[in-house]
Amino acid sequence: MDIFTTMKISASALKAQRIRMNAISSNLANIETTRTPDGGPYRKREVVFQSSQKGFSDTLDSRLRGAIQGVEVTQIQASNLSPRMIYNPSHPDADGEGQVAMPNIVLLEEVADMMSASRAYEANVTVVNSAKRMALKALEIGR
């Protein structure tokens, strides 16, 4: 029954989108990485979003409990897709047949993902700002 639960939900979304941006920037930075400490090329990082009520479940009315959900990133997992094999015999990591295992990251996919994350971030910032405006308006009752 308060405006702060709204802001907490949006804050959880902002955090999740930022973690997603971190994963995207990590993927873009390592788009040509063929060596990693675990061996093999870099594996694309993917974030898993899950709806949750962490942080505000105790302030919800009993009717809203279960209906209102925030979001959290439960894990950032490395993709299990097989890497792209590129023919490049002069590459230091080329195997016997001249094939190099490159990370399975498509630049345009990552850029599109980044735009979507950025739009979602902006949308949640708008929610926070409008919730704050509503609360300030409530303070004007009787001014």
Binding site for another protein (CB under 8 A): 1-4, 7-8, 11-12, 14-15, 18, 59, 128, 132, 135-136, 138-139, 141-143
Distance in Å, CB of 76 to another protein, minimum: 10
> Which residue's CB is nearer to another protein, number 59 or number 99?
59
How far is 100 from 92, CA to CA, in rounded Å?
A: 9
Smallest gap from Cβ 43 to another protein, in A, equals 19
Query: Is the CB of 63 or the CB of 143 nearer to another protein?
Result: 143
Q: Please, are residues 103 and 81 in contact by the beta-carbon 8 Å criterion?
A: no
- If the CB atoms of residues 34 and 124 are measured against another protein, the closer one turns out to be 124
d(CA 35, CA 82): 15
Nearest Cα residue to 12 out of 66, 54, 62, 65: 54
Cβ(123)–Cβ(116) below 8 Å: no
Closer CB to another protein, residue 5 or residue 100?
5
